[in-house]
Amino acid sequence: MGRVLDKYPLEIVEVVLEVTVPVQTRRLMGAVLKARFSRFPASLSEAQKVAQTDSPAATDEMRSSRLDRAAAGVRSLLATAENVHTWSHACLEHLIRKSMELRPSTLIKKGTACTTTINNKTGSMEAQIGRIRREEFEKAESCKDYLPQYTGPPSWAEEQRMIKAFWRLQFFLELQDAGNKGRLGTCWPGQEVDVLSKSSPDGFYDVPKPYYNFEREQTLTACDFFGAVTSGSITLVEAVHDNAYRLPTIRWIEGTVPRCFCAEPPSFGFNEDIFYQGPENLDRMPMSYLFHHAMSTTDGWLDGCPLTLVFPFQCWRKYGFAIWDDKRMADLGMRDPRGRSIMKKYISYSFRWFSILTEEDLRDVR
Ligand SMILES: [Zn+2]
């Protein structure tokens, strides 16, 4: 097998990626492979759109390179893929553990906002309503009765979202490293290399509509975990710092039990995918993000639903809400378990979301 791979490395990698890896991740992996052959996107804006743009994983120039060089490039990509996979499972494991510790409350009766809050007309109409809602929730009668149910290991969509987020991080780190080492200088203007060197992975990728910025939250979920592992505040895995400008190689710490269960892509009949777990939902906005948008949009109203709470999504990112599908969200008590509509009983579920905010979250947003 090894000899076959050494003889046809690029042909094999292209075919295997095509049939096994979802399209955006495949494009990011292709970009990483090309970067290892010093074939970089032609400009900063092209690099930012790399997951959106169709492009073959190998160029003719790579095909005409020496066979041992091509094989070494493909083998290094496979090693990275293995590492990205481990990072993804470790992050998912961490987020599952963290979300299982949640103890949300159930709303019994909303409180009444005091007259000072109601008469406080400063800020936009949305800010005023947000303050009133918040006080109604703060003074609400509630019961800490919900225990999150364990959904099981990550679903296919959850794992693939996480893997894509880590590939976004991997490609960004490699490109930034190439820029810092002067390897982009021949094809990019100096100003673009400067912009890249000052960029962060979450701000780097092109997002057409800021309100629908769920991919940024997914990338940040990966970045938060990356930061926590490399700073030593998460001890599920340990980073081996052999690669300052890429994702470092990690290994599970002895005693932790990794759940490296990789789900197969599910298939659903018409209208059966009530929890949005099918492959067509992978690159779409997760319903949890849409619920947050409806709950906190500063547009005021969305689809006839009134604004309830104005808190940034990052308050819930630390529990994996940018990644989870709706089955897990329902089992965590954050969405109605029946039916496709996420807006069912939205006041009750907004309260559940509110009830898990930490003191810092509440203090940071006043
Ligand atoms: Zn897996």
Reported residue count of the chain is 366
Q: Tell how far the Cα of 227 is from the centroid of ligand 1, in angstroms.
A: 21
* pLDDT of the residue at 356: 95
Q: Tell how far the Cα of 89 is from the centroid of ligand 1, in angstroms.
A: 6
Q: Tell how far the Cα of 261 is from the centroid of ligand 1, in angstroms.
A: 6
Q: Tell how far the Cα of 266 is from the centroid of ligand 1, in angstroms.
A: 14
Q: Is the pLDDT of residue 277 over 70?
A: yes
Q: Tell how far the Cα of 153 is from the centroid of ligand 1, in angstroms.
A: 10
Q: Tell how far the Cα of 327 is from the centroid of ligand 1, in angstroms.
A: 19
C-alpha 121/C-alpha 132 separation (Å) is: 11
Q: Tell how far the Cα of 250 is from the centroid of ligand 1, in angstroms.
A: 15
Q: Tell how far the Cα of 156 is from the centroid of ligand 1, in angstroms.
A: 9
Kindly state the average pLDDT of the residues 325-340.
Answer: 90
Q: Tell how far the Cα of 262 is from the centroid of ligand 1, in angstroms.
A: 4
Encode pLDDT of 211-222 as tens digits: 568 999 999 999
Q: Tell how far the Cα of 109 is from the centroid of ligand 1, in angstroms.
A: 43
The pair of three-digit structure tokens given for residue 44, joined into one six-digit string: 């900063």
Give yes or no for a contact between 14 and 58, defined as CB atoms under 8 angstroms apart.
yes
C-alpha 296/C-alpha 298 separation (Å) is: 6
* pLDDT of the residue at 250: 87
The kind and range of the H/E element at 301 are: strand 301-302
Q: Tell how far the Cα of 260 is from the centroid of ligand 1, in angstroms.
A: 6
Q: Tell how far the Cα of 143 is from the centroid of ligand 1, in angstroms.
A: 37
Q: Is the pLDDT of residue 246 over 90?
A: no
Of 132-146, 301-315, 322-336, where does the model show the most confidence? Answer: 322-336
Q: Tell how far the Cα of 119 is from the centroid of ligand 1, in angstroms.
A: 53
Per-residue b or e along 279-294, where b marks 16 or more CB atoms closer than 10 Å to that residue's CB: bebbbebbbbbbbbbb
Q: Parallel, antiparallel, or unpaired for β 249-252 and 237-240?
A: antiparallel
C-alpha 105/C-alpha 145 separation (Å) is: 6
* pLDDT of the residue at 269: 87
Q: Is the pLDDT of residue 344 over 80?
A: no
Encode pLDDT of 96-108 as tens digits: 999 999 999 999 9
Helix 156-180 with 23-36: angle, nearest 10 deg: 30
Q: Tell how far the Cα of 325 is from the centroid of ligand 1, in angstroms.
A: 16
Q: Is the pLDDT of residue 128 over 90?
A: no
Q: Tell how far the Cα of 338 is from the centroid of ligand 1, in angstroms.
A: 28
Kindly state the average pLDDT of the residues 307-311.
Answer: 76
Q: Is the pLDDT of residue 302 over 80?
A: no
The pair of three-digit structure tokens given for residue 107, joined into one six-digit string: 């709303």
Q: Tell how far the Cα of 365 is from the centroid of ligand 1, in angstroms.
A: 37
Q: Tell how far the Cα of 87 is from the centroid of ligand 1, in angstroms.
A: 10
Q: Is the pLDDT of residue 359 over 80?
A: yes
Encode pLDDT of 44-95 as tens digits: 999 999 998 888 888 888 888 888 899 999 999 999 999 999 999 999 999 9
Q: Tell how far the Cα of 83 is from the centroid of ligand 1, in angstroms.
A: 11
Encode pLDDT of 220-243 as tens digits: 999 999 999 988 888 888 888 666
Give yes or no for a contact between 323 and 162, defined as CB atoms under 8 angstroms apart.
yes
Q: Tell how far the Cα of 80 is from the centroid of ligand 1, in angstroms.
A: 14
C-alpha 238/C-alpha 224 separation (Å) is: 15
What is the helix, strand, coil percentage profile of the chain, to 5? 50, 5, 45
**What's the mean per-residue pLDDT of the chain?**
87
Q: Tell how far the Cα of 85 is from the centroid of ligand 1, in angstroms.
A: 6
Q: Parallel, antiparallel, or unpaired for β 237-240 and 141-143?
A: unpaired
Note the pTM of the prediction, 2 decimals: 0.92
Q: Tell how far the Cα of 18 is from the centroid of ligand 1, in angstroms.
A: 18
Q: Tell how far the Cα of 22 is from the centroid of ligand 1, in angstroms.
A: 13
Kindly state the average pLDDT of the residues 318-347.
Answer: 89
Give yes or no for a contact between 300 and 126, defined as CB atoms under 8 angstroms apart.
yes
C-alpha 358/C-alpha 366 separation (Å) is: 13
* pLDDT of the residue at 241: 67
Q: What confidence category does residue 259 fall into, taking pLDDT thresholds of 50, 70 and 90? A: low
Q: Tell how far the Cα of 73 is from the centroid of ligand 1, in angstroms.
A: 23
Q: Is the pLDDT of residue 140 over 60?
A: yes
Q: Is the pLDDT of residue 31 over 80?
A: yes
Q: Tell how far the Cα of 162 is from the centroid of ligand 1, in angstroms.
A: 10
Q: What confidence category does residue 363 fall into, taking pLDDT thresholds of 50, 70 and 90? A: confident
The one-letter code for the residue type at 7 is K
Q: Tell how far the Cα of 264 is from the centroid of ligand 1, in angstroms.
A: 9
Q: What confidence category does residue 324 fall into, taking pLDDT thresholds of 50, 70 and 90? A: very high
C-alpha 285/C-alpha 263 separation (Å) is: 20
To which residue do tokens 């930490």 refer? 358
Q: Tell how far the Cα of 159 is from the centroid of ligand 1, in angstroms.
A: 7
Kindly state the average pLDDT of the residues 100-128.
Answer: 83
Encode pLDDT of 173-188 as tens digits: 999 999 999 998 778 9
Q: Tell how far the Cα of 104 is from the centroid of ligand 1, in angstroms.
A: 29
Query: Of all residues in the chain, what percent carry a pLDDT higher than 90?
Result: 50
Q: Is the pLDDT of residue 30 over 60?
A: yes
Give yes or no for a contact between 107 and 351, defined as CB atoms under 8 angstroms apart.
yes
What is the residue extent of each domain of the chain?
A: 2-99+154-252, 108-143+266-364
Helix/strand/coil for 201 = helix
The pair of three-digit structure tokens given for residue 32, joined into one six-digit string: 């990483």
